[in-house]
Amino acid sequence: MPGGHLGHARRAALRPHAGADYSARGQPLTAGDAGHYSASMEKEIAALELKVDQLIAQCERLRWENRSLRSRAAGLEDERRRLCERMDAARERLEALKERLPA
């Protein structure tokens, strides 16, 4: 599934870089503080990644369903048009037969 590859790329992009200065809850993170925050940050990132992957999967399912429903609707519209044409033809034939009946 495409989400798996994207998930790995997101995870790699979101991991803290060595020596980077991040802040969490308004407090600066330094290399010395990174161990204190990294486990909880990794859990939050993993949870967010899972939610994003779920949203991507749901979006893909809904796109597929939308395409399928549009295709089905187009088929039903064609069928309705053909049935209306047949009913019009039958109506014309009945009118013609009615004209031929003795009064």
- DSSP-derived secondary structure letter, 17: P
Q: Which residue type is seen at 44?
A: E
Dihedral pair phi/psi, residue 14, rounded to 5°: -90, -10
14-62: pLDDT as tens digits: 555 455 444 555 555 555 555 556 888 989 999 999 999 999 999 999 9
> In terms of pTM, does the model score above 0.85?
no
Strands (E), the chain: 23-24, 27-28
pLDDT over 70 at 66, yes or no? yes
Residue 4's pLDDT is: 47
